[in-house]
Amino acid sequence: MDIHLLKSVTKLFSKKRKIILIPHSSPDADAIGSCLALYHFFKSNNEVNIISPNEYTDILNFLPGSRNILIYENDKLICENVFKKSDVIFTLDFNTLGRAKNLSSLISNSNAKTIMIDHHENPDKYADITISNSKMSSTCEMVYDFICLINKSKIDNKIATCIYTGIVADTGSFRFPSTTSKTLKVGSELINYGVNVTKIFEKLHNNFQFDRLKLLGSTINNFKKIDGLPVVYTSITDNDQKINNFKKGDSEGFVNFGLSVTDILCSVLFIEKKDEGLIKISFRSRGDFKVNIFASKYFNGGGHKYASGGISNLSLKETEKKFISDITQYINQNYE
């Protein structure tokens, strides 16, 4: 953060503020961790609320303060009243207002000062203060830097736990290419606040129902390889979800299994969302294959170089067919 940014942020918080912290829709550990870390950081001197556009996985309920998160989808009136009196809005872990789904217009129509903290490429210019760095492992790592600049002495075990969880989740436990020596240094400093590394790993990865294990089995069994291309894909149908009591977050990480195969550069997961009438797509890649450009060009999505998402309004079968044709064209045009 440069000196001008620091000055404006310091001035902004020199008096008591009514702050809203907003993660992207269907928030993950990085988004929720960022919100909760800032919640604990600001709450002694300010009025602070966290409003998520919709529900998130109950896996994250172990994070301190999570019971204070308001869900807009479930409590519209309460949330709209919070918006009316707010004077600062943080948008966390997203860089285009559309990712806040049903909260987008409340954010853009608000008179509050908006601050974006985010690590995705090519941020939109909707915020009054944009703190954006796509080289960062996670928004949580950026929240750590932000807090250190304003008042490092306020970091405690709760803040450290929330930040550490987001970093661990977004870096695949410090192993994705976005992990730098500084990321590890931040992790190491957080452990000095008494963060329970084993408990966080257990809560994130070994905390599921038996149904989810069976769903993982069928998703892996379903993987198909596209002839002649370093690409695999799989899907989870509405029926797969029904028979395995699918809950939000259950499919987290499934797509990564495709990249466990030698020479596969791209793995894709299609999830049928019958209630929303669309297919949610997860893209993962490695090496030279940048999946965010593909996601934005063909599936109205985007994200990081190696981890992106998108949507399709076609049926699952038609989406898969379109995907095979699009990816063949994309690889032929860009990589051969």
Residues in touch with Mn ion (CB under 5 A): 30, 93, 138-139, 170
CB of 13 to ligand 5GP, least distance (A): 28
Q: Which is nearer to Mn ion, 29 or 331 (CB)?
A: 29
Q: Spell out, one character per residue from 81 to 120, where the chain touches ligand 5GP: x when CB under 6 A holds, - when not.
A: ---------------------------------------x
How many Cβ atoms are within 10 Å of 296's Cβ, its own excluded? 16
Interaction partner, residue 113 (Mn ion, ligand 5GP, none; CB < 5-8 Å by kind): none
CB of 308 to ligand 5GP, least distance (A): 4
Compute how many residues bind ligand 5GP; rule: CB under 6 A: 11
Cβ–Cβ < 8 Å for 89, 112? yes
Q: Which is nearer to Mn ion, 89 or 140 (CB)?
A: 140
Cβ–Cβ < 8 Å for 137, 119? yes
Q: Which is nearer to Mn ion, 117 or 265 (CB)?
A: 117
Site for ligand 5GP in 211-250 (CB under 6 A): none
Q: Which is nearer to ligand 5GP, 25 or 49 (CB)?
A: 25
Interaction partner, residue 308 (ligand 5GP, Mn ion, none; CB < 5-8 Å by kind): ligand 5GP
CB of 93 to Mn ion, least distance (A): 5
Which residues contact residue 321 at a Cβ distance below 8 angstroms, ignoring those fewer than 6 apart?
A: none
CB of 17 to ligand 5GP, least distance (A): 28
Strands 278-285 and 266-273: antiparallel
How many Cβ atoms are within 10 Å of 11's Cβ, its own excluded? 9
Q: Which pair of tokens denotes residue 304? A: 């990081």
Residue of 242, 241, 253 lying closest to 207 (CA atoms): 253
Number of residue whose CB is nearest Mn ion: 30
How far apart are the C-alpha atoms of 188 and 195, rounded to whole Å?
10
Q: Which is nearer to Mn ion, 139 or 308 (CB)?
A: 139
Q: Which pair of tokens denotes residue 184? A: 């590890």
CB of 122 to Mn ion, least distance (A): 15
Q: Which is nearer to ligand 5GP, 19 or 291 (CB)?
A: 291
Which residues contact residue 251 at a Cβ distance below 8 angstroms, ignoring those fewer than 6 apart?
A: 215, 219, 236, 269, 271, 282
φ, ψ (nearest 5 deg) of residue 275: -65, -35
CB of 290 to ligand 5GP, least distance (A): 13
Cβ–Cβ < 8 Å for 113, 89? yes
Residue 280 bridge partners (DSSP): 271, 311
Q: CA torsion angle for 291, 334, 177, 267 (degrees, to 10)?
A: 40
CB of 268 to ligand 5GP, least distance (A): 10
Q: Spell out, one character per residue from 281 to 320, where the chain touches ligand 5GP: x when CB under 6 A holds, - when not.
A: -x------------------xxxx--xxxxx---------
Q: Which is nearer to ligand 5GP, 113 or 212 (CB)?
A: 212
φ, ψ (nearest 5 deg) of residue 132: -135, 130
Q: Spell out, one character per residue from 118 to 137, where the chain touches ligand 5GP: x when CB under 6 A holds, - when not.
A: --x-----------------
Q: Which is nearer to ligand 5GP, 18 or 248 (CB)?
A: 248
CB of 237 to Mn ion, least distance (A): 28
Strand order in the sheet with 47-52: 69-71, 47-52, 18-23, 88-92, 113-118, 129-132
Which residues of this chain interact with ligand 5GP, rule CB under 6 A? 120, 282, 301-304, 307-311
